[in-house]
Structure 1
Amino acid sequence: MPQPVSSSAEPMRDLIDVPGRGVFSALRWDGDAAKPLLVFAHATGFNAGTYRSLLGPLSDQFRIIAIDQRGHGLSPARAEPDELKTWDTFSDDLVALLDLLDEPAFLSGHSMGGRVVMLAAAARPDLARGLLMIEPVLMHPSVSRKLWLARKFGRPPPNPLAQGAARRRAVFGSRDMMMDAYRGRGAFATWPDAYLRDYIDGGTRDLPNGEVELSCAPAWEAATFGSAGQFFWRALGKVRCPVHVLYAESESTLREGVPELIRGRQPAWDLELVPGTTHFLPMERTELVQDALRRLARIYPQG
């Protein structure tokens, strides 16, 4: 059973105008400028607020910025599903944010966010002090190549995740009704209530009739899942900072021999299989993820 969790520090909500990319909403845990900066990227369909229980207790060691990625959470940056072709859109957003911050940072992300921070670390190795990827979406090169070719020639294969996202119910009578609908079901089966509440609070908006609506539109979530297959493996060799990867025992995104392939290509990377976990590892083993981030900062304190 998931254990109750809570955030030990309250973040502030900020709107960041990222030059050339748009305006993004973020949660910030500020503090002593001597603390290292941690930038966190969420999973597809989620939002920065989802991870308050994970990130809040880390504010004693880090200054933290958790971004609502394009089309997610409260970010008003343009998000047209027909325009989304690859996840380079999200990594380009993050690189532009890092350029704006102009400070080497520890980078971490879950699922899509894991790949996004990896791509950003590859693009700007001077701004990446260390990298923790949690259940990153890193497909086998052969799978990525097939998906890329299929899309190039207009024959994309069926994508169950995208199809499911497109059918998601977007409007509920209240946030409590949404909570009741999600609790213990589907993707949320292993989530503590604190995570589920934060996901809902950070990812909904009020409608004039008193109902609430998911701020990540089902069409955008579907387009995000559907654009996951670009070929990205060359980027692994461009990452210069220390890397730690946490991946789940079941339902993991690292399948088909991918962990072994990564170890062969990047022997210095630390890949850790976490027993008894699923893709929603941050919700299931919060303290383990926090310890991994603290350890990364202790071992590699210098930029």
Structure 2
Amino acid sequence: MINRFSVGPAHAEIAMLQWGESGKPPALLLHGTGFVADVWDEVARELASTYTVYALDRRGHGASHKPDVYHFLDFAEDVCRVLDALGLRDVYGIGHSAGATDLLLATKLLPGRFERLFVMEPTIMDPRAARSGGLSEESLLQVQGALRRRAEFDNADAVFERYRTSPTFADWTETSLRAYVRHGFVTLDNGRVRLCCTPEIEAAMLRPIYEAMTQVYVGDVRGNPFTALAEIDCPVRVTTAAKSWPIYKEMAARAVSLIPRVSTLVFKGAGHCVAQEEPAAVVDAVREFAR
């Protein structure tokens, strides 16, 4: 059974899920860009025998708030608000892609609150090798490509049929894909369904992500947050997936070079969305790292 609730004020609510009974060691799951907390369901149900498992819809996604700002530190601050609101300590943080980055940066904002981190292909830049000049024309086109994503469909079944054959979702389990279709879209008054993370929101998120990928991210008035990775005070396992794109492996290598207490793992039979493609393998790996 999943408990749905939210934390934070009305204008900045963070939608939360909980699997399992309270009182067990806490685990917090963070999804990647464009997705929702529910895509963790198969992983979370298994982990709930050992942990009180929480997941959140990251800002701009699902039922959470949709602000105008999507810098890396804003997401990390949302994680900290969740930890404070729920009084969580000794947290096992488990994250994917940009959600993994949220966890890594939150450890600097709330030191001592995480017991360990399991991060799957985080979005990372190496501040020691920062470049100037901003995004290239090619990268800008990639960011703007999100604006061409189809946002509305006749119904949820139409979304599922469309996504089932998409390369992004082709290897997802049916359970994971149906969870995304059900909770990543909102039903409109006319019965049609629309993405919660609209193309405009996704493009706003992707700009800093591509800036980090290409080593040109400079942050905002708070500076470049990636310098904090050298100060992470808990064990971290950085994972890659054999079938994912080279840039994800490159960013994982940057993370490994920056984080003090780090180890690595390769998922040999999966792509970037390993938790939705091979949930049992992720559960086994998460449990093994805890041992």
Q: Which residue of 2 aligns with 1:3?
A: none
The TM-score, its normalising length taken from structure 2, stands at 0.87
Counterparts of 1:123 and 1:252, CA distance in 2: 30
Q: Which moved more, 1:225-234 or 1:174-183?
A: 225-234
Gaps of 5+ in 2: 218-223
1:171-211 deviations in whole A, cap 9, x for unaligned? 10000000001103121121121111001111111111111
CA contact (8 A) 1:109 1:134 kept: yes
Gaps of 5+ in 1: 1-9
Equivalent residue letter for 2:150? R
Question: Cα distance, 1:156 vs. partner?
Answer: 7.6
1:18-75 deviations in whole A, cap 9, x for unaligned? 69x8211111114141x10011111001000111112111111110110011110111
Counterparts of 2:252 and 2:109, CA distance in 1: 22
Counterparts of 2:265 and 2:231, CA distance in 1: 21
| Structure 2 counterparts to residues 209-288 of structure 1, below 5 A | 209-228=190-209, 229=212, 230=217, 231-249=224-242, 250-256=244-250, 258-266=251-259, 268-288=261-281
What count of residue pairs does the alignment treat as equivalent?
Answer: 277
Counterparts of 1:111 and 1:36, CA distance in 2: 24
The TM-score, its normalising length taken from structure 1, stands at 0.83
Mark the CA change 1:208 to 1:260 in structure 2 (over 3 Å): closer, same or farther.
closer
- Pick one of 146, 150, 153 that aligns with 1:169: 150
Counterparts of 1:176 and 1:238, CA distance in 2: 46
Name the SS for the 1:150 alignment partner: coil
- Pick one of 93, 102, 106 that aligns with 1:116: 102
Mark the CA change 1:28 to 1:18 in structure 2 (over 3 Å): closer, same or farther.
farther
- Pick one of 6, 13, 35 that aligns with 1:23: 13
Q: Which moved more, 1:282-291 or 1:64-73?
A: 282-291
Q: Which moved more, 1:159-168 or 1:91-100?
A: 159-168
Question: Cα distance, 1:253 vs. partner?
Answer: 4.4
| Structure 2 counterparts to residues 119-158 of structure 1, below 5 A | 119-141=105-127, 145-146=130-131, 150=134, 158=139
CA contact (8 A) 1:136 1:253 kept: no
CA contact (8 A) 2:76 2:103 kept: yes
1:116-148 deviations in whole A, cap 9, x for unaligned? 1110112212211110101211234477x337x
- Pick one of 26, 43, 53 that aligns with 2:42: 53
Counterparts of 2:111 and 2:207, CA distance in 1: 28
- Identity across matched positions, percent: 29
- Pick one of 68, 89, 106 that aligns with 2:74: 89
Question: Cα distance, 1:262 vs. partner?
Answer: 4.2
Counterparts of 1:169 and 1:135, CA distance in 2: 26
Name the SS for the 1:254 alignment partner: helix
Counterparts of 1:132 and 1:92, CA distance in 2: 19
Counterparts of 2:28 and 2:253, CA distance in 1: 27
Counterparts of 1:58 and 1:247, CA distance in 2: 21
Q: Which residue of 2 aligns with 1:37?
A: 26
Q: Which residue of 2 aligns with 1:201?
A: 182
CA contact (8 A) 1:135 1:252 kept: no
Name the SS for the 2:32 alignment partner: coil
Q: Which residue of 2 aligns with 1:6?
A: none
Mark the CA change 1:197 to 1:99 in structure 2 (over 3 Å): closer, same or farther.
same
Equivalent residue letter for 1:113? G
CA contact (8 A) 2:94 2:100 kept: yes
Mark the CA change 1:60 to 1:36 in structure 2 (over 3 Å): closer, same or farther.
same
Name the SS for the 1:92 alignment partner: helix
Q: Which residue of 2 aligns with 1:13?
A: 4
CA contact (8 A) 2:7 2:13 kept: yes
